[in-house]
Structures are given as structure tokens and as C-alpha cells.
Amino acid sequence: MTTNRNNSGRALAGGIALFALAWSAAGQAQDTVPAAEAEPEAQSSSGISDIIVTATRREERLQDVAVAVTAITGDSLSAADVSTVRSLTQVVPGFIGSRNMGVFQPVIRGVGSTGISIGDEPNIATYVDGVYQPESAANWIDLVEVERVEVLRGPQGTTFGRNATGGLINVITPDPSFDLRGKASLRYGRMRRDAGDYDARFYITGGLSDKLAADFAALYRKNDGYIDDLVRGGTLGDQEVINFRSKLLWQPSDNAKVILTGEFFDQNSTTNSPQPVNGNTAGRRFAGVILPTDAWQASLTSIPTLDLRRWSAALHVKLEFDGFNLEATSGFMNLRWYQETDSDASNIFLGNFPATFATESGSQEIKFTSADPGRFQWLLGGYFYQFGGHSGLDIVTSPGPGIPPTTLNLDPALSGRSFAGFAEGTYEIVDDLFITVGARYTTERRTFEQVVNGNLVVPKTAKSFNKFNYRGAVRYQFAPDGSIYASYGTAFKSGVYNMAGTSPNPVNPENIKAWEAGIKVDPFNWLRTNLAVYHYTYDDLQVQAKDASGPSYVLQNAASAKIYGGEFEAIIQPIDDLNIRGSAAYSHARYRDFPLAQSFFPRPDGGNTVAPADASGNVMTRAPKWTFNLGVDWGHEFDAGRLGVSVNTFFSTRLYYDFQNIFSQPSYTLTNASISFAPTGDRWKFSLWATNLTNEKVFQTIRVGAQATDGFYEQPRKVGVSAELRF
């Protein structure tokens, strides 16, 4: 761990050294008039405002990007009551914000990771202000002050690259401002069993001098337990979150800026309180078992724990020269995570899986981009990433009541590092016809060591993975507000080790080849429409499932899959006071060849029989055939102030959670709504709001294992009030 910590520190220190050298060079460059900073929104020729995005690693109009991307401003996220990255499900087509215990496992177009091992990074990559967020357990990102969120659908194997075989989430927060401004908000809500929900957020920014500015964001979020504890009485499901984040901006001249970011996140909760799905637990075999009879109930041997603490820092440097820009981004993260959950979801003790994780990671990216207008635009860069960590895993099992349990202690250590170089160029070969070609070469090395009950079972072993990925696209701008595009690209995720196993061999890398075509057009000044269709060939999928012996996990490769489908998005603004956003997504996701899938078959007396079985032709897990989003925002100015009404609805068809398509969440609908009032000439805003308005009983995940099929429900209906002050 000391070596990994030093390497992480070197990544951040390297960024500072790079700035010093580059700034020295910049001092010799001409003091030119800087390119105008892109605003979050820019007015297009239509009446609907355009969003400037960085989906191609440069600032462009959303409608001019040859990529399927949904970009949502901070105000739109607030109106839809999207306060965390996981709840983007409410507003992004083809996106499922799944979780496994404390691990965030997003899915886009049927592609998503199920791994929880250290170094088993999600294949939906998450970035915050250009900094890669590698750990699934750390990606519970609360959206305090956000400029916009971009969700790129489809493989991003060249310019972003980092394991993004399915897509990525790009969170952009505002830079500190030299003008003093801020906001503070308080929210209070109630759920079932009179469980309170409390949320306080604060943001302030301003200049410290003519060249130095800073901001500070703070969040405190807490909810009381809303899950009935059928064993001890009272409730489970409580959560408390504290989050502090600050940026420091130094702008020594018009053509240079440096931003230093620091963040602290702490969570304590019992939200990992599962209940058997349809009573399927091995605890049914024994007298005295207590089984839940409705949603939001739990009957567990002990109180579960899900605690997380994260520290992170980042340094971003941007220098503007004649003809090109230089950007360097360094990132560092330290994560400590502890969880403990009943493995059979009953009051009969049959097993437990307490686990402690400690990881550190660091990254460094250097990127050059063209700055002059012209037919040829390019970018060139390099990327370094490293991680290291260890876990303490206790696999505790018991045959039944009164029989002493046995404990298998695992103490794995994993580490790795990756180097990549990438380049992309776009050339306008004739007026309005653009050709894009990009490539990335990645070399990675991963190490693994396993200690079982104090004995070294797997001596330190290592394996390297090298891959060349590429992308090509063509886009034709047939009108000022209309373009059509087609692209083909590849992406990969390197092989990973299973920290809960004893195999010295990692699973194979997964690879994806993707076709995509789309049309983006504003046919009227009050209507924007985007359509994308895609076809994937997906090989060596890395999939995880419960072990046959109990609470542990196995990691294996599904041979191949085929996915195709499409999404349609529309924004309608018939009058200034009414904004309608809607989308529909279709996905045909099937395992094409998966002959030895870890499979689970319900037993009559509870629990599941575990055996390998052919899953070829079955629907991929967490890949609904259809999803729909509809959001309506209406507002009107009265003499006393502005009244606003917002409704956001999400619908999904059935989701499967196992390879044999036996266990599933049926189709469901989730609706959020709010009514707000802002007094005239005042900076206050008051709201009455509700989430899960119809009190739908929706599993946010289902876990299938030998001892049980269990799951966690989304929160029940929550109704509350809020007040916000802007200054």
C-alpha cells in the first residue's frame, strides 16, 4: 500500500510540475486575446437553447456532436428532482441506475458491470470535471451545484477510453466565479412509518483577489429508517451523508487558469437491508423463521452496515497558446468502505459476508487540442492511471440454528497501472461534410495476491493487457439546425482478478464493436428531435454471480452477446412558460453464446440450486426492452410571483436479474412532482414536492444466490417541502 500511495501522490505532484514547466513556456508565448469561454447554454437559430457539451473532449453544440448524448442542465435536474447520479434513470433514455449493496452499477443500452472487486472498474465510466472516478463504491455522487451532466451512450474507446465499453457519465460543476453569489436550500420530507427525510445544501463562490477565486459546497443529508425491522422492532434503512467540496481558481492571465479541487464524503447507513423475493430464502427450512409479507420489511439476523468514507483531490491546468491549447488533469482518491449484510435475508443465521475495502488511485492526463478555426480540428493526449488496495473478507456460513458457523477469511491485495495514448481529428472535406478518425493504444498490468486464513494461497502474480481501439464517424450538416451521422468504433475493458476467489488467472478482457447512426434536427423553433440507432457485437463479457457455497462471488466470462436498438428524444417548447422533454428507448439485448452460465433454480423448501446451464439466447440482465421518460415543466408570472409545476415520469418494462431469466422486476412506473412559488423581486423559492408519487414497489436490485433470492426496494412515496435562497 505504501508504494501505491506514493505512486498516487506522484501523479498529483506530476501535474503540479507539468504546470510549472508549461506555464514557464506560456510566459514566452504572445499575450493574445483569449478564446471566449463557452457558456453552459448558447442560443441556436431555434427558440430552444442549445447546450455546449464536451462529449468529444472539446466544446461543441450538442446538436453538432456525432455521438448519442443526453445533456441536462443543473436547473433541469433540480426540476426533475434528480439529486444523485443514480437517479439519472429518471431523465436519461436507455440508462438504468442499478446498485448491488453499496456499489453503484449503471447500465446503458444493456451494457453494465456487476463486479465489486477492487480494480474491477465499471464499464460505464464516471467523470467529474474531467477526473475519472474508478471505484463503483465511491460513485454515490450528490449533485449540489452542477452546471450540467452529460451521459454518452455507447462505447467511448478512444478519447475517453477508460473501460467505457458501455458509455460514460460526465458531471461538470461550475468553476469559481469572481462575482459573489451563492445559494442555500433546506428540504424536509416524510415517508412511511413517519420516517423523516432531511436535506441541507449550501454553495458560495466569489473572488479572493483579482486573480484568485474560490467556491465551497456543503451537503448534509439524512433519512430515518423506513424499513420495518421484524426481528428487533423499530426500523432499518436509515442513512446519513456529509459531503464537502471546494475549488480554488487561479487565473494569472487571460490565457491560463489553474483549478485545485478537494472533496470529502462520509456515509453511514443501514440501507443494505434486503428481504427475500417472494419468500425465497433457505431460512424457510427451519422453525422460527420470520418472513416479510410486504415491501419495505426486513427480517435479518443482525443489523446491517454500509459505511463509506472518501477523500479526493484534483488539479486542472489549462494554457492557451497560439493555435492550440494544453490541458493537464491530475486526480487522486482514497476510499475506505465497510459493509455487512445477511446472506440469506432471514432471521435464521445461515451466513454473513462482512467486508472491508481500502483503496487508493491516481490518474494523470495531458491533452493538446487545436484552437484555430478551420476545416481541421484535432486533439492529442496521453493518460496514466494506477490503483492499489486490499480487502478483509469473512465468508461466514452455518448449516442451521445451533450449529457453530465456519469462517473463511480472505485478505486479497490487488494493484495495477495503465498507460494510454490517444488522438482524434475531424476534417471538413467539403462544406458541411465532416470526417472523424480517432485511435487509442492502451497497455495495462494488473497484480493479485490472495491470503486465506493467514496462509498465502496465491503468491503475487501479474498479467498485462494491450489493446488498440479506434473510431470513425461521418457527419453531414444538411441544415443550420439539422445533421445526420454514422459511426463505427471499438472499446475494451482489461481482464480483472476476482478478489473473492483463489484463481491466479484473471478473466479475459471484454471487447465491443459498435455501429451507430443518428439524426439531430430542430424542425421548428419550438421542437428539437434526436434519433439514434445502434448495433453491438459484444465479446467476453465479464459477469459476476453468487458462489454455489454461499455469500461469496464468482467472476466469469460470458462468451458473447448481441445488442441492437435505438432511442428517440424530443424537447417541445410551444410557449415560453412550458417545456416538455420526452424520450423512448428500445433495446434488444441477448446472450448470443453463454453455455456455462452460473445459474440458479428455486428450491421448493427455499433457496436455490446452483448449476452451470446454457443461457444462450436469453435476455441480458438489467436490460429492459422499453423505457420511457416524460418531463413537463410549466411556469407563469403572476403579480405576486412565479408559480411553477413540474412532473417527471419514468416507465420501464421487465428487468431480469439472472442469466436464466427466472428472477425479475416487473414493469413499473416512477413519478416525481413538485409545485413551487418564487415571490416577485425576491430571491426565495418555496416548493411542495413528492417522489415515487404512486408509491410503486420497485426493486432497485435483486441478488440471486444459493441461500436466497433477495432485493432492495426503492424508497416509498416521500412528500415534503423545501425552501431555497439565492444571493
Q: Report the CATH number that the domain containing residue 658 is assigned in CATH.
A: 2.40.170.20
DSSP assignment letter at 214: E
What's the rounded Cα separation, in Å, for the pair 247 and 263? 9
Question: Helix or strand or coil: residue 193?
Answer: helix
Q: What is the pLDDT of residue 282?
A: 95
Provide the phi-psi class of 4: left if phi over 0, else alpha when psi is between -120 and 50, else beta: alpha
Unique residue bearing C-alpha cell 439524512: 222
What's the rounded Cα separation, in Å, for the pair 169 and 167? 7
Of 179, 198, 171, 205, the residue nearest 87 (C-alpha): 171
Give how far the C-alpha of residue 505 lies from the chain's centroid of Cα atoms, to the nearest Å. Answer: 28
Question: CB burial class (10 A; 0-12, 13-18, 19+) of residue 562?
Answer: middle
Structural domain count of the chain: 1
Of 98, 205, 9, 6, the residue nearest 627 (C-alpha): 98
Give how far the C-alpha of residue 441 lies from the chain's centroid of Cα atoms, to the nearest Å. Answer: 24
What's the rounded Cα separation, in Å, for the pair 632 and 630? 7
Question: Helix or strand or coil: residue 167?
Answer: strand
Q: Tell me how far CA of residue 392 lies from CA of 117, 481, 571, in angstroms.
A: 12, 56, 49
Of 124, 108, 111, 107, the residue nearest 162 (C-alpha): 124
Give how far the C-alpha of residue 290 lies from the chain's centroid of Cα atoms, to the nearest Å. Answer: 36
Question: Helix or strand or coil: residue 44?
Answer: coil
Which residues fall within 8 angstroms of residue 576, CB to CB, at 6 or more apart?
Answer: none
Question: Helix or strand or coil: residue 70?
Answer: strand
What's the rounded Cα separation, in Å, for the pair 486 and 514? 11
User: Do residues 469 and 490 make contact, with C-beta atoms less than 8 angstroms apart?
Assistant: yes
Residue at 611 is within a domain: no
User: Do residues 484 and 475 make contact, with C-beta atoms less than 8 angstroms apart?
Assistant: yes
- The DSSP secondary structure of 127-183, one letter per residue, reads EETTEEE--GGG---B-SS-SEEEEEES--TTTT-TT-SSEEEEEEPPPP-SS-EEE
**Residues of the chain scoring pLDDT < 70:** 1-46
Residue at 469 is within a domain: yes
Residue at 631 is within a domain: yes
Q: What is the pLDDT of residue 25?
A: 37
Provide the phi-psi class of 167: left if phi over 0, else alpha when psi is between -120 and 50, else beta: left
Q: What is the pLDDT of residue 635?
A: 94
Residue at 609 is within a domain: no
Cell of 584: 423512448
Cell of 506: 484473471
Q: Tell me how far CA of residue 562 lies from CA of 155, 270, 529, 589, in angstroms.
A: 14, 38, 27, 6
Query: In residues, how long is the chain?
Result: 727
Domain residues for the domain of 664 are 2-603+620-726
Give how far the C-alpha of residue 107 lies from the chain's centroid of Cα atoms, to the nearest Å. Answer: 9
Question: CB burial class (10 A; 0-12, 13-18, 19+) of residue 293?
Answer: exposed
Residue at 687 is within a domain: yes
Residue at 150 is within a domain: yes
Q: What is the pLDDT of residue 83?
A: 82
Residue at 480 is within a domain: yes
Exposed e or buried b per residue across 451-476, where buried means at least 16 C-beta atoms within 10 angstroms of its C-beta? ebeeeeebeeeebebebebbbebbbe
User: Do residues 623 and 655 make contact, with C-beta atoms less than 8 angstroms apart?
Assistant: yes
What's the rounded Cα separation, in Å, for the pair 670 and 661? 23
Q: What is the pLDDT of residue 548?
A: 85
Residue at 487 is within a domain: yes
Q: What is the pLDDT of residue 115?
A: 78
Unique residue bearing C-alpha cell 440501507: 271
What's the rounded Cα separation, in Å, for the pair 4 and 260? 22
What's the rounded Cα separation, in Å, for the pair 73 and 150? 9
